[in-house]
C-alpha cells in the first residue's frame, strides 16, 4: 500500500501519460444520482459540524482513507499524530509534455481505527468547522488539480467543505449503500505542501528501493 499510488501513476506515465492529462483528453468525471449525492452530503455535514466526534464520523472512517499532501501538510505536526505510523503515499503529478518530469509530494494512508481516531482528532483541532458547514461541488480548477493526482476517474459523491481558510476535498466511496471517505485533501494546503521535481527514472529508482 505504501508504494501503490506511485506505481499507479508510473504505469500511466509509461503507457504514454495522455490519459492523465486534462489538457489532452479532458477530465474523466462520473456522476452519481441526486439521492446518492444527498446521502453522502448529509453524512459529511453530520460529521464535520461544529462538534466533531467519533460517534458522528465512525461510519465514514471504517475503510482506508488517503490523506492527500495538502491536508497532511496541515495536520502532520499535531500532537495527536505522535507515534502514529500511517501508511505513506507518494503523489507524482506529471508536468509538461511529454510528461517525463513530475512534482512529487507526500501524504499518508489511514489503515485502522486507531489511526482514524487520531486523524479525526487532528482535523477537528486544526480546522474550525461551522455548525452547518458549506459542502459544495468541486470547481473546475479543483477538478483539474485532483484529476492530475489520481490515475482513475473522479467519481461522485465528491465534495468540498469550504471554510474560507481551507477547502477540504472529501471523496466518498459507496459500499453497500453506505458512504465511506476514500480520499481527503486540502486545496488551500496544497499551495504550501512540500514538493520536489523529479524525472520518471528517478521515481523508478526510488520505488525499487
Average pLDDT over residues 77-87: 95
Neighbours of 140 (CB within 10 A): 9
β-pair partners for 181: 172
State the Cα–Cα distance between residues 170 and 127, nearest whole angstrom.
14
Of 179 and 27, the structure prediction assigns the larger pLDDT to 179
- Which pLDDT belongs to residue 97? 55
Neighbours of 51 (CB within 10 A): 8
Q: Which of 25-29, 82-86, 198-202 has the lowest mean pLDDT?
A: 198-202
- Which pLDDT belongs to residue 164? 92
State the Cα–Cα distance between residues 72 and 109, nearest whole angstrom.
10
Is residue 132 predicted with pLDDT exceeding 60? yes
State the Cα–Cα distance between residues 26 and 122, nearest whole angstrom.
35
Q: How confident is the model at residue 44 (pLDDT cuts 50, 70, 90)?
A: very high
Contact 73, 193 (CB under 8 A): yes
pLDDT in tens, 156-198: 999 999 999 999 999 999 999 999 999 999 999 988 887 767 6
Q: Tell me the three-class secondary structure of 95-130, residue by residue.
A: ECCCCCEEEEEEEEEECCHHHHHHHHHHHHHHCCCC
State the Cα–Cα distance between residues 53 and 98, nearest whole angstrom.
46
Question: 190: which DSSP letter?
Answer: G
- 193-197 contacts: CB < 8 A, separation 24 or more? 193/69, 193/70, 193/72, 193/73, 193/105, 194/69, 194/73, 194/105, 194/106, 195/69, 195/103, 195/104, 195/105, 196/103, 196/104, 197/95, 197/101, 197/102, 197/103, 197/104
- Which pLDDT belongs to residue 92? 75
Amino acid at each position: 500500500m505504501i508504494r501503490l499510488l506511485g506505481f499507479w501513476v508510473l504505469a500511466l506515465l509509461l503507457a504514454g501519460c495522455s490519459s492523465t492529462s486534462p489538457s489532452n483528453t479532458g477530465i474523466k468525471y462520473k456522476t452519481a444520482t441526486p439521492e446518492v449525492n444527498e446521502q453522502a452530503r448529509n453524512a459529511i455535514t453530520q460529521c464535520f459540524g461544529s462538534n466533531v466526534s467519533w460517534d458522528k464520523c465512525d461510519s465514514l472512517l471504517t475503510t482506508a482513507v488517503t490523506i492527500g499532501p495538502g491536508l497532511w501538510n496541515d495536520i502532520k505536526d499535531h500532537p495527536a499524530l505522535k507515534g502514529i505510523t500511517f501508511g505513506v503515499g507518494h503523489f507524482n503529478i506529471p508536468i509538461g509534455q511529454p510528461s517525463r518530469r513530475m512534482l512529487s509530494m507526500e501524504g499518508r494512508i489511514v489503515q485502522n481505527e486507531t489511526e482514524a481516531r487520531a486523524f479525526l482528532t487532528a482535523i477537528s483541532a486544526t480546522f474550525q468547522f461551522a455548525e452547518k458547514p458549506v459542502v459544495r461541488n468541486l470547481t473546475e480548477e479543483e477538478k483539474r488539480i485532483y484529476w492530475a493526482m489520481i490515475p482513475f476517474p473522479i467519481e461522485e459523491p465528491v465534495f468540498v467543505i469550504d471554510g474560507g481558510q481551507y477547502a477540504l476535498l472529501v471523496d466518498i466511496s459507496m459500499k453497500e449503500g453506505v458512504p465511506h471517505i476514500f480520499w481527503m485533501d486540502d486545496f488551500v494546503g496544497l499551495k504550501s505542501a512540500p514538493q520536489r521535481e523529479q524525472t520518471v527514472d528517478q521515481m523508478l529508482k526510488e520505488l525499487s528501493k
